[in-house]
């Protein structure tokens, strides 16, 4: 068991198995020392979770849970890119968040904190990142949140 698994265990979480893309794209691309992680949606037990909009079907707290679930998939994908060794992560450079929300919803940053807080809890200072939290009117499969990320690895 790695230190990351222990941290996740203390949080009552575990990394899922990386999912295969459902379309014609790679789950990640490595360019030099940078790993670009494709969009990750909230999937739990092989089922899409959190289908609907923030400000309609979901509260900010539920949105944070959806973002946290997406972040687990981001971590699982970067672990796969690092051949199972999260110690190779030098830094999370950027986290992009897309929030499926009603036109009057303005709490995208709070929703994204679910993902940001998890990355910092698991990776420490290497999990601190620049980010964007963007409200959108639709996401694939009508999920509430989708994340993408850029990491530096060694």
Give the tens place of pLDDT for each residue, 24-82: 999 999 999 999 999 999 999 999 999 999 999 999 999 999 999 999 999 999 999 99
d(CA 70, CA 85): 20
pTM of the model: 0.96
Q: State pLDDT tens for residues 73-100.
A: 999 999 999 999 999 999 999 999 999 9
Contact 145/98 with Cβ under 8 angstroms?
A: yes
What is the share, in percent, of the chain residues with pLDDT greater than 70?
A: 100
Helix (H) or strand (E) holding 83: none
**How far from 27 is each of 30, 57, 88, 109, 152, CA to CA, in Å?**
10, 28, 18, 25, 16
Q: Would you kindly state where each structural domain of the chain is located, as residue ranges?
A: 3-16+35-153
Reduced DSSP (H G I as helix, E B as strand, rest coil) percent helix, strand, coil of the chain, to 5: 35, 30, 30
List beta partners, residue 147: 40, 97
Domain 3-16+35-153 in CATH: superfamily? Answer: RutC-like (3.30.1330.40)
d(CA 82, CA 48): 26
d(CA 104, CA 3): 41
- Average pLDDT in the chain: 96
């Amino acid at each position: 068991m790695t230190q990351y698994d222990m941290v996740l265990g203390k949080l009552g979480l575990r990394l899922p198995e990386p999912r295969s893309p459902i379309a014609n794209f790679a789950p990640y691309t490595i360019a030099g020392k940078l790993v670009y992680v494709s969009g990750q949606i909230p999937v739990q037990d092989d089922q899409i979770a959190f289908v609907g909009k923030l400000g309609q079907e979901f509260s900010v707290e539920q949105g944070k849970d959806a973002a946290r679930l997406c972040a687990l998939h981001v971590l699982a994908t970067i672990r796969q890119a690092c051949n199972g060794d999260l110690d190779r992560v030098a830094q999370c450079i950027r986290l992009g968040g897309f929030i499926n929300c009603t036109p009057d919803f303005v709490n995208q940053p709070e929703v994204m904190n679910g993902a940001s807080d998890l990355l910092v809890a698991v990776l420490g200072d290497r999990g601190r990142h620049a980010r964007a939290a963007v409200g959108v009117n639709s996401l694939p499969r009508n999920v509430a949140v989708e994340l993408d990320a850029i990491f530096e690895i060694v």
